[in-house]
């Protein structure tokens, strides 16, 4: 499974599943999928979006090419806001909580957290942070 994070407006979404490739620009996330991102959403929102609620949102695509994918999922707005306004210290604490204190500062989930925070900070006023999920490139 490939997970690619990108910024877009709702009007830009149609057509992004054509061809089966992830939209550019954006960032390939390693070591994560929409389901395990739900625990990160709960952490960055301080419990404002519970893990179960985040799972329900992240598992439900906003756009899908069918059972074989790919699909596009939207990160909850509260998580986008928190990630975009975070500082390195917050992200370090979140990574520690998300990975269970693995002690591996450059593993996939921690890199994914940094990539999501960077994209969230760069978003425009009408943009949301989406995940393209598929088997393609």
Q: What is the pLDDT of residue 21?
A: 81
Buried b (16+ CB within 10 A) or exposed e, 60-85: ebebebeeebbbbbbbbeebbbbbbe
> 82 near 44, Cβ under 8 Å?
yes
> 116 near 75, Cβ under 8 Å?
yes
Contacts of 86 (CB under 8 A, 6+ apart): 44, 94, 117
Instruction: State the Cα–Cα distance between residues 5 and 73, nearest whole angstrom.
Output: 9
For every one of its 137 residues, what pLDDT tens digit does the chain have, with 9 covering 90 and above?
889 999 999 999 988 888 778 888 899 998 888 778 888 999 999 989 998 888 888 888 999 988 777 999 999 999 999 999 999 999 989 988 888 765 555 567 788 999 999 999 999 999 999 999 987 55
Tell me if residue 129 falls in helix, strand or coil.
strand
Instruction: State the Cα–Cα distance between residues 105 and 95, nearest whole angstrom.
Output: 9
Is the entire prediction scored with pTM above 0.85? yes
């Amino acid at each position: 499974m490939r997970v690619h994070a990108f910024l877009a407006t709702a009007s830009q979404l149609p057509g992004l599943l054509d061809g089966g490739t992830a939209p550019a620009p954006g960032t390939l996330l390693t070591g994560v999928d929409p389901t395990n991102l739900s625990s990160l959403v709960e952490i960055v929102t301080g419990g404002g979006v519970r893990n179960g609620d985040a799972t329900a949102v992240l598992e439900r695509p906003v756009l899908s090419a069918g059972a074989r994918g790919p699909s596009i999922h939207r990160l909850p707005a509260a998580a986008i806001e928190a990630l975009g306004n975070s500082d390195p210290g917050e992200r370090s604490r979140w990574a520690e909580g998300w990975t269970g204190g693995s002690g591996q500062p450059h593993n996939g989930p921690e890199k994914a957290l940094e990539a999501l925070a960077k994209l969230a900070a760069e978003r425009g006023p009408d943009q949301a942070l989406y995940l393209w999920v598929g088997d393609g490139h």
